[in-house]
């Protein structure tokens, strides 16, 4: 191999590596979780589906903040409500429907 071809190969590998790092950048998600009637849900669980250890809960006003990769799937759940899965975006306005199964 010539020095030029080694440099081109190394540059190609470095470029691919940089693209992979850039695509895994976290964003700060801000959102609110409410019932269908507009009341906030206190203590709803908000987690990144691919990494369930990356999560938070909604506060007294239903608000939450979470760091997650852009484009990841966010799972929102609360006891007695249907779980929702939404793509990570800002702002996240989540309405949970009551679970009718008894």
pTM, to two decimals: 0.74
Whether 80 contacts 99, CB under 8 Å: yes
Cis ω on the peptide bond leading into residue 77 (within 30° of 0)? no
Q: Give the model confidence (pLDDT) of 14-44 as tens digits.
A: 665 544 454 558 999 999 999 999 999 999 9
Rounded to an integer, the average pLDDT of 58-62 is 98
- Give the strand pairing for 92-96 and 26-35: parallel
Q: CA 59 to CA 40: how far, in whole Å?
A: 9
Q: Give the model confidence (pLDDT) of 76-88 as tens digits.
A: 999 999 999 999 9
């Amino acid at each position: 191999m010539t020095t030029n071809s080694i440099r081109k190969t190394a540059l190609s590998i470095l470029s691919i590596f940089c693209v992979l790092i850039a695509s895994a950048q976290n964003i700060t998600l801000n959102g609110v979780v409410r019932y269908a009637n507009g009341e906030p849900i206190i203590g709803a669980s908000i987690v990144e589906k691919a990494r369930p250890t990356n999560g938070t809960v909604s506060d007294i006003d239903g608000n939450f903040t979470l760091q997650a990769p852009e484009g990841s799937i966010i799972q929102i759940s609360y006891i007695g409500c249907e779980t929702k899965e939404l793509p990570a975006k800002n702002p996240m306005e989540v309405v949970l429907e009551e679970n009718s199964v008894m």
